[in-house]
Amino acid sequence: MHDHAPGGEGIRGASNRRLLAISLAITSLVMVVQVVGAILSGSLALLADAAHMLTDVAALIIALIASAVAARPANERSTFGYRRAEVFGALANGVILIVLSIGVAWEAVRRLIEPGETEVAGGLMLVVATVGLVANGVAMWLLGRAQRTSINVRGAYLEVLGDLIGSAAVIVAAILILTTGWMPADALASLFIAAMIVPRAIGLLREVASVLSEAAPKGMQVADIRDHLLGAAGVRDVHDVHVWQLTRGAPVFSAHVVVDEAVLIGDRAGRLLVELQGCLADHFDVEHSTIQLEPAGHSDRDEALHA
């Protein structure tokens, strides 16, 4: 017996895909500006921020592709639909972030150990970094709402956030170069950008691992759910409980519910199912639940496999 309530629009909605497309256009344009600015100014920090922008472009492209795939309806082979495409998109984003951070850190350390004779044009560096800061702020504002319900957009949002902080670091380095002439500030800003990327990437990959391992969503306790269901009249026991999520914001629940014999007479079973599924939807935001009603005395549970 199932409840197939439709999920929220999330990133699967066309309006949110338009936001991703707008963010992609903004990010791509600023990336080109930063690359040109890095070449003209000789700034490694600006080039690192541009490289990070490149991963943002890749992330947004992946997010757009994943959102389009995720919007496809369920079928007989993919009975839950294609929402997991969002998770694989986030996985790709996380790997890109890790690779980027290693490359930036390597070059930054090399420049600090073996400083060259290249002069950094702090003025141009400051102007380009400021443009990047404003553009990243706009992109974050566009993605802010959608990232709360989509792990895929969350990955893109985190990368844009990292770029915003990176642009701020480049601005600080540019000001130091302009006021003091201290060129190592450029390499240090690059190293800061690399260090900033790692924890965000790890956090994203941990969330992906949690979804793919079908762990219970963060903050959702099986014991709490069981207690809520046991509070319904006629329910004696709840076992064989499974809670997982298809992607961020799409929890799924299944359980066997032992009930009094009288519940299985007439239309009481249907009313109880409506009550239990309403409890799951209202208290735990479960959009898909599968509940098997069993008479008292019936047992097919395997304690080693179920909660």
Cα–Cα dist 135/130, whole Å:
9
* pLDDT at residue 171, rounded to an integer: 93
For the chain, the maximum distance between any two Cα atoms, rounded to a whole number of angstroms, is: 87
Tens digits of residue pLDDT in 269-297: 888 988 898 888 888 888 788 899 988 76
Look at residue 286 and give its three-state secondary structure.
coil
**Residues 287 and 5: beta-carbon distance below 8 Å:** yes
Q: So what CATH class is 222-295?
A: alpha beta
User: Is the predicted pLDDT of residue 12 greater than 50, yes or no?
Assistant: no
The tally of CA atoms less than 13 A away on the side-chain side of residue 146 is 29
Tens digits of residue pLDDT in 150-206: 665 676 677 778 778 888 988 999 999 888 888 888 888 888 888 877 887 888 888
Tens digits of residue pLDDT in 48-65: 788 777 767 776 776 676
Q: So what CATH class is 2-212?
A: mainly alpha
Name the segment(s) of the chain with CATH classification 1.20.1510.10. Answer: 2-212
Could you give the C-alpha distances from 74 to 14, 79, 81, 222, 266, in angstroms and in order? 18, 5, 4, 27, 33
* pLDDT at residue 2, rounded to an integer: 39
Identify the band that residue 70 occupies on the pLDDT scale cut at 50, 70 and 90.
Answer: low
Name the segment(s) of the chain with CATH classification 3.30.70.1350. Answer: 222-295
Crossing angle of the two packed helices 151-180 and 84-113, in degrees rounded to 10: 20
**Residues 171 and 193: beta-carbon distance below 8 Å:** no
**Residues 125 and 112: beta-carbon distance below 8 Å:** no
> Average pLDDT in the 196-225 region?
84
Residue 244: its H or E element = strand 235-245
Q: Which of 82, 161, 178 is nearest to 124 (CA)?
A: 178
